[in-house]
């Protein structure tokens, strides 16, 4: 497989069913996507395989936010440099600076267009590749098995 044939793996956390369906539809051609609806499911998925990028809703309807999850995953050596994009409807002046300060590499505000979403994800991946260290750790990149997918929303 050549570099151009590789489809990056994205871990997305989104608690809204309709947005999850939209993300699945919009991203399936260019990315391998694992969609979860909670931080618990996201942690499980992240422990089973290596992801190239995180796409996290910020305001999840649970105790943890997307920012909390990002900070938790970034404590793991294999995810310390994984690029992350915040996705939220609660955008106001200064949001981009806030998300960058909280550890995200980029953000997309809802509602988003297909073009903006795809361009933001690709730009974030490209920037991360340019900065990546050659000895970056890796977990398996194979798709999750049927057993591993139980409890993880697809």
Domains (ranges, CATH) in the chain?
Answer: 3-129 (3.40.50.2300)
| Residue 70 · residue 43 · CB < 8 Å | no
**Which helix (DSSP H) or strand (DSSP E) does residue 26 occupy?**
helix 17-27
pLDDT of residue 42: 97
How does the average pLDDT of the chain come out, rounded? 86
* Tens of pLDDT, residues 1-37: 555 689 999 999 999 999 999 999 999 999 999 999 9
Q: What is the pLDDT of residues 111-147, one digit of tens each?
A: 999 999 999 999 999 999 998 755 444 545 554 444 4
Q: What is the pTM of this model?
A: 0.83
Can you tell me the mean pLDDT for 48-52? 96
Beta-carbon contacts of residue 8 (< 8 Å; ≥ 6 apart): 31, 32, 52, 53, 125
Distances from the Cα of 88 to the Cαs of 3, 27, 54, 107, 108, in angstroms?
A: 31, 17, 14, 8, 7
Task: Tell me the three state secondary structure of residue 12.
Answer: strand
């Amino acid at each position: 497989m050549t570099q151009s044939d590789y489809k990056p793996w994205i871990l997305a956390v989104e608690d809204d069913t309709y947005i999850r369906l939209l993300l699945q539809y919009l991203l399936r051609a260019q990315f391998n996507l694992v969609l979860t609806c909670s931080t618990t499911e996201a942690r499980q998925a992240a422990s089973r395989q290596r992801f190239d990028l995180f796409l996290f809703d910020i305001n999840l309807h649970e105790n943890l936010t997307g920012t909390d999850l990002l900070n938790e995953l970034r404590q793991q050596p294999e995810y310390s440099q994984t690029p992350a994009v915040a996705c939220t409807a609660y955008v106001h002046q200064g949001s981009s600076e806030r998300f960058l300060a909280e550890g995200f590499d980029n953000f997309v505000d809802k509602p988003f267009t297909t073009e903006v979403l795809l361009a933001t994800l690709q730009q974030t991946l490209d920037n991360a590749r340019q900065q990546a260290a050659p000895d970056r750790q890796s977990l398996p990149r194979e798709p999750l098995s049927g057993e591993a997918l139980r409890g993880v929303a697809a």
